[in-house]
């Protein structure tokens, strides 16, 4: 089975506290809703204390063209991606020219050539590196990217795969959009990037000929699910000002209704059931979504501690967020705070879709 050798994350320098974000929203949305004080309670209910952005808060009060925002996306996504990728490769003891494939996941900006080309050259990857850019998966992108990287490593067991997920969600904010969806987005979204090194089964340590990654988390399998006629649950509406967020209030209800069955199907395909599950690594789309996961799957509260901590410290960064949770999980494992067993990494995203990865901790 492929193994996760290292995970590293990166965030931009501008920090916005929950109080600062609330004051910002009051200033911008105050004349748009008669019940603005009630709506602003959302900033308390999110349980987010701080978030990071590539631009300072005053920048978001002004209108910017799609082209200007996209140029900021390209610059910031490249810098964050290179930063976390270098540290992930170093943590896995992998030289850049040993990377056989690079997968780049994002949904908050566009670039042709895709940004993995610039990242590969910045990192010094080989000229024959296989490239797979993935766009449009939103919050599900981190889990889906991990699954597709595992698929590549299964097909090429001697390969080392570099997965990068980078999102600049803050740049999608449109100050002239006074919708409730935009208000919710201003309370949740943030910027960040994550890099994961995945090794195929046959990757060896050239220094001593021993198999690498025996103590790494193994990727057992994955499952994707796409609900029909659900495209309006989550996504972007492309407009002249950029990418306008689409949110449905029904996402926690959908989690309560559907996730137990989704997890059961993943586990049963590997002759397991929920009694075999020791860990759950969830994308923290919001506090209500995490509560819905816990209720639907009847999880011990501690199973979502890492997800709640990431939500508190970083907010919802879309695709890389679940990889931030995975990084914390692996850090606690290195400190021997986590027992072995099976775990599920899960995220929901546009489509409307569910992506799951089954992990095994020795």
Residues with catalytic function: 139
β partners of residue 348: 354
β partners of residue 188: none
Tokens 């990418």 found at: 243
Query: In terms of DSSP bridges, do strands 341-349 and 14-17 run parallel, antiparallel, or are they unpaired?
Result: unpaired
- CA 346 to mean position of chain CA atoms: 10
Cα–Cα distance measured from residue 236 to residue 138, given in angstroms and rounded to the nearest whole number: 9
Task: Kindly report the three-state secondary structure assignment for every residue of the chain.
Answer: CCEEEEEEEECCCEEEEHHHHHHHHHHHHCCCCCCHHHHCCHHHHCCCCEEEECCCHHHHHCCCCHHHHHHHHHHHHHHHHHHHHHHHHHHCCCCHHHCCEEEEEECCCCCCCCHHHHHHHHHCCCCCCEEEEEECCHHHHHHHHHHHHHHHHHHCCCCEEEEEEEEEHHHHCCCCCCCHHHHHHHHHECEEEEEEEEECCCCECCCCCCECCCCCEEEEEEEEEECCCCCCCEEEEEECCEEEEEECCCHHHHHHHHHHHHHHHHHHCCCCCHHHEEEEEECCCCHHHHHHHHHHHCCCHHHHHHHHHHHHHHCECCCCHHHHHHHHHHHHHHCCCCCCEEEEEEEEECCCEEEEEEEEEC
β partners of residue 177: none
Q: Which of 335, 289, 345 is nearest to 163 (CA)?
A: 345
Residue 266 is encoded by which pair of tokens? Answer: 């993943």
């Amino acid at each position: 089975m492929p193994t996760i050798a290292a995970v590293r994350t990166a965030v931009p320098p501008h920090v916005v506290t929950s109080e600062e974000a609330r004051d910002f929203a009051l200033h911008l949305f105050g004349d748009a809703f008669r019940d603005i004080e009630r709506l602003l309670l959302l900033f308390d209910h999110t349980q987010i204390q701080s978030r990071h952005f590539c631009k300072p808060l005053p920048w978001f009060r002004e209108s910017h063209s799609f082209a200007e925002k996209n140029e900021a996306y390209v610059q910031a996504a490249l810098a964050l991606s290179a930063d976390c990728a270098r540290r992930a490769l170093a943590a896995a003891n992998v030289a850049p020219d040993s990377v056989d494939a690079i997968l780049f996941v994002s949904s908050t900006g566009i670039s042709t050539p895709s940004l993995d080309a610039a990242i590969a050259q910045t990192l010094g990857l080989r000229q024959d590196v296989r490239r797979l850019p993935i766009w449009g998966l939103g919050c599900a992108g981190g889990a889906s990217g991990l699954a597709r990287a595992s698929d590549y490593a299964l097909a090429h067991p001697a390969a080392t795969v570099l997965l990068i997920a980078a999102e600049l969600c803050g740049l999608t904010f449109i100050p002239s959009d006074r919708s409730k969806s935009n208000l919710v987005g201003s309370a949740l979204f943030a910027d960040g990037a994550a890099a994961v090194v995945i090794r195929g089964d046959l990757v060896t340590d050239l220094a001593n000929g021993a198999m690498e990654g025996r103590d790494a988390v193994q990727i057992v399998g994955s499952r994707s699910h796409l609900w029909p006629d659900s495209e309006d649950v989550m996504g972007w509406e492309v407009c002249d000002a950029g990418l306008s967020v689409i949110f449905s209030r029904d996402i926690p209800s959908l989690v309560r209704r559907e996730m137990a069955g989704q997890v059961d199907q993943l586990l049963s395909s590997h002759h397991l059931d929920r009694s075999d599950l020791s860990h759950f690594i969830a994308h923290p789309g919001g506090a209500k979504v995490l509560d819905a996961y816990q209720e639907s799957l009847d999880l011990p509260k501690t199973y979502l501690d890492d997800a709640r901590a990431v939500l508190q410290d970083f907010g919802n960064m879309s695709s890389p967020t679940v990889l931030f949770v995975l990084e914390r999980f692996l850090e606690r494992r290195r400190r021997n705070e986590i027992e072995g067993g099976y775990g599920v990494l899960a995220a929901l995203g546009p489509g409307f879709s569910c992506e799951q990865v089954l992990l095994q901790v020795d």
